[in-house]
């Protein structure tokens, strides 16, 4: 099916056209500079950004895909989780378009988008894959707003087997980066600086080692970062790199130790990973090693653009969902991944 996917869950205004699992276009607009001035996303400004950009982003998605409204078979929109004042903009637009062009409307869970984004393919690639090659799968979602381990026997059936009790992993990268004066979002800069850090110079404690479960906690790493930074009268570039490396090692170790609990006693055919933090090559390498040790194949989104928020993953999920009536859409709560 040819589906238009819309996502306005956070700061990015995203629209994409996807045919089955093939991306025909994937357009994104974000007022990053505005948010950078405030050191994080300001919900009111994010909403204004969506209002400003939504029409042009959708038009560009159609234009780049060389697709007309007649060819669109359904419209998919993120129903949550996310900032409600931002979600509203995408949902209202999707409803208007569904009515105007008489298209079915499909409500999608943003986290299901991240989870299944590994299935998306650029136009130039066409791999023939069977879903039964991947499922049952263990999903890892590591983004700016969410961190979860999800057992997925098949598409549409999800059990959260572990999740963060406080901050998300990406949020932790951003907050520690902010303490180091690295701007927003800081994940990528932390990764770059960590490459020149001296191994073992700064050691962060790995959280929740005494708790034998797959739940995670990232807020202690922020406090640890604060204590470590306080000890330096001034921070040289090398100090920042050493701290960035120490942090990256500990946060990844925490993820791996909890993943070990999440996968225990589960028969899975694959580990699938989604969310912005998987842009990080150190995290990716450690996950690959973990999967190799478990003798389980691991899959990541095809490009970095598909790791962070995008409309293509929303259109993809919709390929596997029933459309819903517009009256019902109003009654749906903001989604958690294990809710239908
Ligand atoms: O998936 P995403 O767009 O967020 C949500 O849907 O919530 O991912 C954004 C997050 C930010 O926290 C950003 O700092 C983090 O992904 N991120 C990274 C890297 N690139 C992006 N974190 C660590 N290393 C990176 N290279």
Give, for ligand 1, the residue of 170, 182, 284, 287 to mutate: max count of ligand atoms closer than 8 Å to Cβ. 170
Ligand 1 centroid to residue 277 C-alpha, Å: 4
Angstrom CA distances, 129 to 118, 121, 194, 268, 301, stand at 12, 11, 37, 17, 15
Ligand 1 centroid to residue 165 C-alpha, Å: 18
Q: What is the pLDDT of residue 330?
A: 53
Which two three-digit tokens encode residue 272? 């699938």
Global pTM reads 0.93
Residues 181-185: contacts with CB under 8 Å, at least 24 apart: 181/235, 181/240, 182/240, 183/36, 183/39, 184/35, 184/36, 184/38, 184/39, 184/40, 185/144, 185/276
Q: What is the pLDDT of residue 340?
A: 45
Q: Taking 80 as the threshold, does the pLDDT of residue 203 lie above it?
A: yes
Q: Taking 80 as the threshold, does the pLDDT of residue 37 lie above it?
A: no
Ligand 1 centroid to residue 188 C-alpha, Å: 8
Q: Taking 60 as the threshold, does the pLDDT of residue 325 lie above it?
A: no
Q: What is the pLDDT of residue 333?
A: 45
- pLDDT band of residue 335 (cuts 50, 70, 90) is very low
Ligand 1 near 97 CB (within 6 A): no
- pLDDT band of residue 334 (cuts 50, 70, 90) is very low
Ligand 1 centroid to residue 166 C-alpha, Å: 16
Cis preceding linkage at 185, omega within 30: yes
- pLDDT band of residue 40 (cuts 50, 70, 90) is confident
Angstrom CA distances, 204 to 175, 176, 187, 256, 277, stand at 15, 12, 17, 15, 19
Per-chain mean pLDDT for the chain: 93
Ligand 1 near 246 CB (within 6 A): no
Ligand 1 near 173 CB (within 6 A): yes
């Amino acid at each position: 099916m040819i589906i238009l996917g819309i996502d306005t869950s956070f700061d990015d205004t995203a629209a994409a056209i996807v045919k089955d699992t093939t991306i025909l276009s994937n357009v994104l607009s974000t007022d990053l500079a505005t948010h950078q001035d405030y050191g994080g996303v300001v919900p009111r400004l994010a909403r204004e950004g969506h209002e400003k950009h939504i029409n042009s982003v959708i038009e560009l998605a159609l234009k780049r895909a060389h697709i007309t409204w007649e060819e669109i078979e359904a419209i998919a929109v993120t129903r949550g989780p996310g900032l409600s004042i931002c979600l509203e903009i995408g949902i209202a637009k999707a409803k208007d378009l569904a009515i105007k062009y008489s298209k079915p409307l499909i409500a999608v869970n943003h986290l299901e988008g991240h989870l299944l984004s590994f299935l998306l393919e650029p136009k130039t690639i066409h791999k023939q894959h069977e879903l039964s090659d991947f499922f049952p799968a263990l999903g890892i979602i590591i983004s700016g707003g969410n961190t979860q381990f999800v057992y997925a026997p098949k598409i549409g059936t999800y059990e959260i087997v572990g999740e963060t009790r406080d901050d998300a992993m990406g949020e932790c990268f951003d907050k520690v980066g902010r303490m180091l004066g690295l701007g927003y979002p800081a994940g990528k800069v932390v990764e770059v600086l960590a490459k020149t850090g001296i191994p073992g110079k700064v050691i962060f404690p790995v959280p929740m080692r005494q708790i034998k479960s797959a739940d995670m906690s990232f807020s202690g790493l922020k406090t640890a970062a604060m204590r470590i930074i306080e000890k330096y009268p001034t921070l040289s570039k090398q100090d920042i790199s050493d701290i960035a490396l120490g942090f990256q090692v500990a946060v990844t170790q925490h993820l791996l130790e909890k993943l070990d609990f999440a996968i225990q006693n589960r028969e899975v055919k694959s580990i699938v990973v989604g969310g912005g933090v998987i842009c990080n090559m150190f995290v990716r390498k450690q996950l690959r090693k973990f999967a190799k040790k478990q003798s389980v194949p691991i899959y990541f989104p095809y490009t970095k653009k598909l790791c962070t928020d995008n409309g293509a993953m929303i259109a993809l999920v919709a390929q596997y969902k029933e459309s819903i009536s517009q009256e019902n859409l109003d009654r749906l709560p903001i989604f958690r991944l294990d809710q239908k």
